[in-house]
């Protein structure tokens, strides 16, 4: 095999609670991840040059050594003592810095893709351990779960049974939010004052099961600084969403709809915003 292409999905968080700050600087969380049908595409090609080359078709995302895909590829190649070259081309559809996990998904796909390309035969547990330095969301994207409850920093995963297809309208407001800023702001101002209200769930039958889950601790620091987030949430509700929430640390906001038709009709009901991007997706 000389070349391999993979689709890498985005995610949203149906719930996200920040439990506490750890001694290592990371945060313990409780979250419910949901993969959605918004994808980047990554192509891995063997190269005669003894090097890793990463290109991206989106100027807002760094190519080369500053891309998390390069870091994942280097980590894998060093771990497996591989000296061969590889070219990695990324076609972006998932906005960067949007709380949709695009970078983490790309990194997970890189470990999976290189494992296949070089026929290393590494098991999932091994890739999980290898992915630890790359980011808290990477294990979820390495897993085969479409929906999962996560704890720890996000690496402790428990599958959630999703018994219906869910439809979402995801709005990217045209700007990114730093995850590091969001965590620091929350830790400095809110974390010691919060009341824990963790919900454990093993199955989701329909949208009625999701609405009581919807909570994102990051909204408490993100909305005061970026009030358009709350405006967008309210507009999605007016457009027919049964619930709306910030995803991750933002900046994307999603609305949950009762059917494909409802989600498809919703964009026409939203006020026009030149810098906004709308994605109609499903679970």
Active site residue 165: no
Residue 47 pairs in a beta bridge with 85
Residue 168 backbone phi and psi in degrees, to 5? -135, 150
Does residue 84 have a cis bond before it (omega within 30 degrees)?
Answer: no
Is the four-CA dihedral 138, 143, 149, 152 of positive or negative sign? negative
Letter string b/e over residues 43-57, b meaning 16 or more CB atoms within 10 A of that residue's CB: ebeeeeeeebbbebe
Tokens 């049908």 found at: 37
Annotated catalytic residue within 35, 40, 71, 137: 137
Marked catalytic residue, from 11, 35, 92, 233: 11
| E-only strand ranges, 197-236 | 203-204, 215-216
In whole angstroms, what is the distance from residue 220 CA to residue 244 CA?
A: 15
Instruction: Tell me, yes or no, if 35 is annotated catalytic.
Output: no
Phi, psi of 124 (to 5 degrees): -60, -40
Residue numbers annotated as active site: 11, 137
């Amino acid at each position: 095999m000389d070349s391999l292409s993979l689709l890498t999905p985005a995610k949203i968080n149906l719930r996200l609670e920040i439990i506490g700050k750890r001694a290592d600087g990371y945060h313990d969380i409780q979250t419910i991840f949901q993969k959605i049908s918004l994808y980047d595409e990554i192509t891995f090609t063997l190269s005669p040059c003894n090097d890793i080359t990463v290109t991206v078709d989106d100027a807002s995302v760094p190519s080369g050594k500053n891309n998390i895909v390069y870091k994942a590829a280097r980590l894998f190649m060093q771990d497996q003592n591989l000296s061969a070259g590889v070219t990695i081309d990324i076609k972006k559809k998932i906005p960067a810095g949007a709380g949709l996990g695009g970078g983490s998904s790309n990194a997970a796909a890189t470990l999976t893709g290189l494992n296949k390309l070089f026929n290393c035969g590494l098991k999932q547990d091994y890739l999980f351990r290898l992915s630890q330095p790359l980011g808290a969301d990477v294990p979820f994207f390495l897993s085969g779960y479409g929906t999962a409850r996560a704890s720890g920093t996000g690496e402790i995963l428990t599958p959630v049974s999703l018994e219906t297809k869910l439809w979402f309208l995801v709005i990217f407001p045209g700007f990114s939010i730093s995850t590091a800023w969001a965590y620091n702001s929350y830790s400095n101002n809110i974390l010691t004052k919060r009341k824990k209200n963790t919900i454990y769930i093993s199955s989701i039958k329909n949208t009625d099961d999701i609405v009581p889950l919807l909570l994102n601790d990051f909204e408490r620091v993100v909305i005061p600084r970026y009030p358009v987030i709350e405006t967008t949430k309210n507009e999605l509700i007016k457009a027919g969403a049964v619930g709306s929430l910030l995803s991750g640390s933002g900046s994307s906001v999603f609305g949950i709809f009762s059917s494909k038709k409802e989600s498809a009709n919703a964009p026409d009901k939203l006020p026009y915003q030149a810098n906004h991007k709308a994605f109609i997706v499903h679970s």
